[in-house]
Chains A and B, each alone.
Chain A
Amino acid sequence: AQKVTQAQTEISVVEKEDVTLDCVYETRDTTYYLFWYKQPPSGELVFLIRRNSFDEQNEISGRYSWNFQKSTSSFNFTITASQVVDSAVYFCALSRNNNDMRFGAGTRLTVKP
């Protein structure tokens, strides 16, 4: 069975603080893909990153960074120096080779000025 857990329902930070969004997954597959999507109030899910199960290299993209650890089945997302525009719901998702994505419950991030 596949499962994604985002234990943090809501997080509130003040602008310029760093914030980490947690994602823990369960799967019996050896090949799988992990994703992060951002959903601002407008509704569109914006693709942020995809990682496959064979690539544990961490990634940094500007103020965003991702820490993938197979040993703890986690794929955490850190925003450095948060900004008001980062306010959104963030979804972690897991898929097998067949594209069927299983989303976590989402974490609502509020960045206050």
Chain B
Amino acid sequence: DTEVTQTPKHLVMGMTNKKSLKCEQHMGHRAMYWYKQKAKKPPELMFVYSYEKLSINESVPSRFSPECPNSSLLNLHLHALQPEDSALYLCASSQEYGLGGSMNIQYFGAGTRLSVL
């Protein structure tokens, strides 16, 4: 089973709202990722968590706040977003971070399509 589940599938929010995106995996993976994908563009890495610790923050604005409460869950808290933040937000997981071999295959969820009005 290579399933990564993301909720909600769609989200519309105003610029003053606070919302959260949720990602869950039960594959025993210890690395989890957030990507942002604008229309007709490839995914861009935002954050990497390894063993529930933030390993990579790709200079993402503070209005995006990731959280990894346990090894199976990854949240992305959103606050005071801008219309240009509208995108597909993808979560992924892999067995480990920073190692090669089969452990670095990332499995993706279906994403949350976010619209900021």
Could you list which residues of chain A lie within 8 angstroms of chain B, going by C-beta atoms?
31, 33, 35, 37, 42-47, 50, 52, 91, 95, 97-101, 103-106
B104 and A33: CB pair below 8 A? yes
A105 and B41: CB pair below 8 A? yes
Contacts of A52 in B (CB 8 A): 100-101
Contacts of B110 in A (CB 8 A): 42-44
B100 and A45: CB pair below 8 A? no
Contacts of B42 in A (CB 8 A): 91, 103-106
Could you list which residues of chain B lie within 8 angstroms of chain A, going by C-beta atoms?
2, 31, 40-43, 45, 48, 56, 88, 90, 92, 94, 96-102, 104-111, 113
A101 and B106: CB pair below 8 A? yes
Contacts of A99 in B (CB 8 A): 31, 48, 94, 96-99, 104, 106
B109 and A44: CB pair below 8 A? yes
Contacts of B94 in A (CB 8 A): 99
A97 and B98: CB pair below 8 A? yes
CA A93 – CA B13 in complex, angstroms? Answer: 32
Contacts of B98 in A (CB 8 A): 97-99
Task: Name the residue of chain A whose CB is nearest to the CB of B58.
Answer: A100
